[in-house]
């Protein structure tokens, strides 16, 4: 929500108390009148500067930092002292800032969380809190929470089990909810459920800040997560809960358990699916293809891969293809090779994509046999898309779709340059983390970044705008189609299949509108929006502008 342009000074803390409150502090932007009325005279340098002057200073200092991690630390320190200025910098320079506050830099920040720790941010619920989780949640100072991002730190990006160090992920995600969709930071709550870690290097690290124990499992683990869900929905009844970076075996279970009971979704499954499907739709505008005729080969059959597969199937079915045929157009390779019927102990989420076929283990042979039109990389393994594989698909398809979606950048299945070079510049490429533009034979290619931030902030804004009871797959399908529709011809001419991040707020508002329309159509909206719905959505979007303290 936007800050009131005028706030009564008698309702504010005074002096250093005001300067030390990051949600109220304006730093050198306090006017002479405000300095007198709020007891700030002498506590600030005499020169008064506006917010843009402060942004200039922040950018100058930020860009002098020697590496991305130092820039990340600098930005979090800014957030801790002047929240509105932090979000102004993010919003106005989103393309430069997103790789710093989220992937890939957030991965390194999580690995070193205990070493770079400055001050706490978010809420830690640990195994020691069993039986009193509601009490812990009530310690949070704000009541009107609308978005909760929660992780247990077991599968952070492609980095694995980072325990309580994973707090960097919900903190970063919620920063993007605000920067990309204008959800008031006062209505956001990052949560880490600390059940221990099986990462021995963390357990041996004297600066590790989490529980020093092996991970809680089984019924005790499920009971703690359930206690959190029950308490969160009681304490914050209008909150949407986003599950983030849970391990595969838990992510699918919790999504199925709670999706029809509370307002929740899993971004690794559903958000990734929507942004990938949007990329496929955009890519097909370049290749002049039909979704129903594509053959997709997924490298990786975890949360992201099967989540994309399920949404692609839903899209194909909605366009007239029988479900069985739609599924036959999605093939998966996991650690044991091609996912086929007859394999023993096949995980439940893979069963729908296990087709009749001879077992195969060599990826190059699989590509040769199946002749896919698109490669979707969600394996978490760098180099998976080898030169031989990319040359093979380029030999079969005039414009192959190549998505190397694993995060962070070091885990991408191939680089942008490799994708373009090994396909003779014919690949339609996207990645999960950013790559610089590539010049090949005099032509400039701008890689698309299939970043979930194109999807989840807008979905959250739509859910919040109408107080939707649930978050549904239909909403993500609508979000994917809306995102694809925001890609213009000039983007496509450069090979870019996602809109510029500079337009992310407009994109999020459009996605929010699509989500509201689905919610109202399905009777899920607890708050009915009438009249000019786009204007109503825009009206609740937070703007990081300094108010006047009268």
- Report the candidate in 89, 113, 220, 146 with the shortest Cα–Cα distance to residue 541: 146
CA distances from 309 to 323, 350, 526 (A): 12, 10, 31
Q: Catalytic residue, from 87, 102, 542, 549: name it.
A: 102
- Asked if 327 and 285 sit in the same domain, the reply is yes
CA distances from 390 to 94, 95, 105 (A): 32, 29, 28
Each residue's pLDDT tens digit, 347-375: 999 999 999 999 999 999 999 999 999 99
Q: Catalytic residue, from 26, 72, 87, 173: name it.
A: 173
Predicted confidence band of residue 243 (pLDDT cuts 50, 70, 90): very high
What's residue 408's pLDDT?
A: 84
The whole-number average pLDDT for the span 236-254 is 96
The whole-number average pLDDT for the span 518-544 is 97
Rounded CA-CA distance 163/171 in Å is 15
Is residue 257 annotated as part of the catalytic site, yes or no?
A: no
How are beta strands 188-194 and 123-126 bridged, if at all?
A: parallel
Rounded CA-CA distance 466/525 in Å is 5
Among 235, 262, 289, the domain boundary falls at 262
Q: Structural domain tally of the chain?
A: 2
Using a pLDDT cut of 70, give the percent of the chain over it: 98
- Asked if 167 and 301 sit in the same domain, the reply is no
Rounded CA-CA distance 485/513 in Å is 13
331 domain-assigned:
yes
- Asked if 283 and 238 sit in the same domain, the reply is no
What's residue 433's pLDDT?
A: 85
What's residue 117's pLDDT?
A: 97
- Asked if 448 and 354 sit in the same domain, the reply is yes
- Asked if 323 and 437 sit in the same domain, the reply is yes
Each residue's pLDDT tens digit, 160-204: 999 999 999 999 999 999 999 999 999 999 999 999 999 999 999
Mean pLDDT of the chain: 95
Q: Is 121 in a helix, a strand, or coil?
A: coil
The whole-number average pLDDT for the span 82-103 is 96
Among 262, 278, 308, the domain boundary falls at 262
What's residue 9's pLDDT?
A: 65
- Asked if 406 and 329 sit in the same domain, the reply is yes
Is the pLDDT at 389 greater than 60? The verdict is yes
Is residue 527 annotated as part of the catalytic site, yes or no?
A: no
Q: Phi and psi at residue 253, in whole multiples of 5°?
A: -60, -45
- Asked if 190 and 290 sit in the same domain, the reply is no
What's residue 2's pLDDT?
A: 44
What's residue 6's pLDDT?
A: 58
- Asked if 226 and 210 sit in the same domain, the reply is yes
Which residue bears the tokens 């609740």?
540
- Asked if 310 and 440 sit in the same domain, the reply is yes
Each residue's pLDDT tens digit, 7-46: 666 689 999 999 999 999 999 999 999 999 999 999 999 9
Q: How much is the pTM?
A: 0.94
Domain span at residue 139? 122-262
Computed on alpha carbons and rounded to an integer, the radius of gyration of the chain in Å comes to 24
What's residue 1's pLDDT?
A: 45
- Asked if 388 and 316 sit in the same domain, the reply is yes
Q: How many CB atoms lie within 10 A of CB 291?
A: 18
81 domain-assigned:
no
- Asked if 291 and 424 sit in the same domain, the reply is yes
Is-contact 312 330, C-beta < 8 A? yes
314 domain-assigned:
yes
- Asked if 330 and 448 sit in the same domain, the reply is yes
Q: What is the CATH number of the domain that holds 182?
A: 3.40.50.10380
Q: What is the CATH number of the domain that holds 311?
A: 3.40.50.720
């Amino acid at each position: 929500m936007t800050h009131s342009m005028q706030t009564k000074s008698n309702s504010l803390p005074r002096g250093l108390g005001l300067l030390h409150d990051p949600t109220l502090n304006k730093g050198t932007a306090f006017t002479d009148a405000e300095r007198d009325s709020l007891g700030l005279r002498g506590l600030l340098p005499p020169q008064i500067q506006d917010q843009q002057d402060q942004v200039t200073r922040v950018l100058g200092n930020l860009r002098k930092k020697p590496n991305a991690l130092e820039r990340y630390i600098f930005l979090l320190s800014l957030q801790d002292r002047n929240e509105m200025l932090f979000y102004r910098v993010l919003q106005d320079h989103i393309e430069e800032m997103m790789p710093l506050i989220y992937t890939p830099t957030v991965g390194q920040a999580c690995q070193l969380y205990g070493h770079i720790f400055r001050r706490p941010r978010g809420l830690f619920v640990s195994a020691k809190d069993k039986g009193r989780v509601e009490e812990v949640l009530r310690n949070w100072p704000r009541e009107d929470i609308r978005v909760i991002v929660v992780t247990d730190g077991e599968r952070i990006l492609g980095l694995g089990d980072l325990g309580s160090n994973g707090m960097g992920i919900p903190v970063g995600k919620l920063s993007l909810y605000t920067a990309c969709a204008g959800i008031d930071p006062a209505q956001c709550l990052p949560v880490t459920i600390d059940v221990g870690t099986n990462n021995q290097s963390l357990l041996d690290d004297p600066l590790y800040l989490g529980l020093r124990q092996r991970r809680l499992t089984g019924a005790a683990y499920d009971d703690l997560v359930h206690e959190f869900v029950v308490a969160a929905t009681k304490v914050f009844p209008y909150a949407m809960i986003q599950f983030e970076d849970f391990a595969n075996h838990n992510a699918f279970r919790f999504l199925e358990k709670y999706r029809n009971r509370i307002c929740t979704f899993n971004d690794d499954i559903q958000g990734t699916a929507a942004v990938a499907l949007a990329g496929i739709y955009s890519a097909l505008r370049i290749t002049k293809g039909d979704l129903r005729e594509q053959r997709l080969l997924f490298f990786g059959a975890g949360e992201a891969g099967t989540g994309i597969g399920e949404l692609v199937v839903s899209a194909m079915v909605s366009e007239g293809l029988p479900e069985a045929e739609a599924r036959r157009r999605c093939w998966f390779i996991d650690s044991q090779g091609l996912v086929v019927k007859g394999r023993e102990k096949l995980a439940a989420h893979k069963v729908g994509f296990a087709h009749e076929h001879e077992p195969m283990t060599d990826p190059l042979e699989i590509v040769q046999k199946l002749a896919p039109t698109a490669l979707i990389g969600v394996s978490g393994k760098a180099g998976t898309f080898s030169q031989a594989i990319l040359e093979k698909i380029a030999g079969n398809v005039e414009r192959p779709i190549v998505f190397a979606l694993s995060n962070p950048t070091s885990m991408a299945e191939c680089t942008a340059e490799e994708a373009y070079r090994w396909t003779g510049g014919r690949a339609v490429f996207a990645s999960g983390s950013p790559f610089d533009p590539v010049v090949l034979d005099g032509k400039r290619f701008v890689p698309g970044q299939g970043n979930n931030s194109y999807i989840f902030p807008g979905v959250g804004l739509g859910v919040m705008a109408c107080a939707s009871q649930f978050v549904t797959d239909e909403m993500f399908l609508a979000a994917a189609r809306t995102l694809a529709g925001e890609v213009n011809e000039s983007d496509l001419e450069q090979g870019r299949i996602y809109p510029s991040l500079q337009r992310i707020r407009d994109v999020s508002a459009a996605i929010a509108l699509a989500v509201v329309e689905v919610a109202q159509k399905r009777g899920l909206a607890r708050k009915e929006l009438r009249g000019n719905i786009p204007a109503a959505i825009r009206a609740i979007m937070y703007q990081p502008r300094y108010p006047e303290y009268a």
